[in-house]
Amino acid sequence: MHKIWLICKREYLSRVKKKSFLIMTLLSPLLIVFFYGVIFYFSFNQDLEEERKIVLINDQSSVFENNLENTKIINFQYNKLTDSEPKLLLENSGAYGVLTITKKEGSYTYDLLANEQPGLNTLSSIESKLEKVLKNKELEANGIDKKIVNDINAISVKLLTRKNTDDGIEKGNSSTTTIIGFLGAFLIYFFIFLYGVQVMKGVIEEKTNRIVEVLISSVKPFQLMMGKIIGIAMVGITQFVIWVVLVAALSGPVSILVMEMMHVDPSAMIDGKQVAGASQDAGFSEILSSLSGLNIPLLLGLFVFYFIGGYLFYGALFAAVGSAVDNETDTQQFMMPITLPLVFSIAIAQSVINSPNSSLSVWLSMIPFSSPVIMMVRLPFGIPTYQIIASMVCMILGFIATVWFAGRIYRIGILTYGKKPTYKELFMWLFRKN
């Protein structure tokens, strides 16, 4: 045990003391918050960046004349031209484009001549304005009041969900549970990959440097492997805790900052956006209330369990791969079967969210290859206790099995150099005597 502790300590300290660890640990949350801010900023200000454009309307049908609403980025001006003129006018006027509208036998053709290929944003706003004019015209022709149409469009239905449990009826919120579940699943997926690969690289380093020859005379291969896996897990947990704290501490101020940066005066907001803002506030309080409905201690506890269990399960396999090869380029072939179930579980998470209690979902949350990710997705929906216990037992058994399996390969692999072993040889290593 003392040996595992020594190895674990080395793995931990040598990584945590590195400058790159400090930089990555501090920078990552800043980057996450920064990107989050940027996305937030642009999602509310997508038009701000574009210059105002003047589009000349050459309307041969006279239907659109003076009826098009200007948008934030487009000003419409009207000018009837002859066929040969649009090109000339575009060059002389400095307008963004010339839109020629002609009507033939009841259908319109629209031709936009511009100096560049217009962006999707520009196109769709011009199109929607044109459509609006035509629709209004059609409504008027049929004697329907615009107000009625607006009222019809304003109808929207939102289901409130409640869950019947032993303790009574809980208020549920599917979108919140979905987000929490998916977040947990993704974090576990990310963690397993990030640190699993570090275990593998560490093993390869020791092997190619022959450090292992010096160590292995004094420690058992199993101790060396476990020390490394646990040490790197501690690094991951340290990093993760720092991230959570930093992201939590920074997210609030940054959101406020972004709001201010937008210079958006609430009174200047158009009606639609105010409504959207109000419903977002309502959504937020709903999220808070549904969060309180979830069993947070259980969720967190199980998150930590699957976080560690999944990492140990895969970390052992990554260690075995590292021991079997001489350099990183050779790992590809052996990485495939390990990464495939992980990628598969994250890919199938969406359908698990859609039907969290289907038999596929239940089985995937039992098999240790996929259970860390799938269980996280299912948990917020509330699942029977016996399933949780069964899945945890499977996880522990699976972990013991992969550690045994990895240990057998590792003890032979770290001292075998030269040709990359085949799967058949790896299988033989499992049962070979020392």
- Contacting residues toward another protein, per CB under 8 A: 3, 6-7, 10, 13-14, 18, 205-206, 208-211, 213-219, 415, 434
Per DSSP, the three-state class of 18 is coil
Q: Is the dihedral of CA 46, 79, 146, 131 positive or negative?
A: negative
Per DSSP, the three-state class of 367 is coil
Q: CB-wise, 100 or 223, nearer to another protein?
A: 223
| End-to-end CA separation in angstroms for the chain | 22
Shortest distance (Å) from residue 317 CB to another protein: 24
Shortest distance (Å) from residue 333 CB to another protein: 21
Shortest distance (Å) from residue 229 CB to another protein: 17
Shortest distance (Å) from residue 199 CB to another protein: 15
Shortest distance (Å) from residue 315 CB to another protein: 20
Beta bridge partners of 172: 161
Shortest distance (Å) from residue 421 CB to another protein: 12
Q: CB-wise, 47 or 425, nearer to another protein?
A: 425
CA 353 to CA 345: how far, in whole Å?
A: 12
Question: Helix crossing, 371-378 with 174-208: angle to 10°?
Answer: 160
Q: CB-wise, 98 or 215, nearer to another protein?
A: 215
259-288 burial, b for 16+ CB within 10 Å, e for fewer? eeeeeeeeeeeeeeeeeeeeeeeeeeebee
Question: Helix crossing, 332-354 with 371-378: angle to 10°?
Answer: 20
Q: CB-wise, 18 or 103, nearer to another protein?
A: 18
Shortest distance (Å) from residue 213 CB to another protein: 4
Q: CB-wise, 224 or 362, nearer to another protein?
A: 224
Alpha-helical regions (H) of 294-370: 296-324, 332-354, 359-364
Q: Phi and psi for 54 in degrees, rounded to 5? A: -105, 125
Q: CB-wise, 18 or 132, nearer to another protein?
A: 18
Per DSSP, the three-state class of 168 is strand
Q: Which residue has the tokens 């506030």?
A: 281
- Run of H or E including 162: strand 161-165
Alpha-helical regions (H) of 75-145: 85-93, 120-141
CA 380 to CA 184: how far, in whole Å?
A: 10
Shortest distance (Å) from residue 239 CB to another protein: 17
Beta sheet of 107-114, edge-to-edge order = 74-78, 53-59, 97-104, 107-114
Q: CB-wise, 12 or 381, nearer to another protein?
A: 12
Shortest distance (Å) from residue 232 CB to another protein: 14
Residues 6 or more apart whose CB falls under 8 angstroms from that of 377 comprise 181, 182, 184, 185, 349, 352, 353, 356
Shortest distance (Å) from residue 413 CB to another protein: 13
Shortest distance (Å) from residue 211 CB to another protein: 5
Q: CB-wise, 138 or 205, nearer to another protein?
A: 205
Q: CB-wise, 20 or 153, nearer to another protein?
A: 20
Length of the chain in terms of residues written: 434
Would residue 69 be called left, alpha or beta, if left means φ above 0 and alpha means ψ between -120 and 50 degrees?
beta
Q: Which residue has the tokens 């092997």?
A: 207
Q: CB-wise, 9 or 52, nearer to another protein?
A: 9
Q: CB-wise, 2 or 263, nearer to another protein?
A: 2
Structure tokens at 259: 């709001």
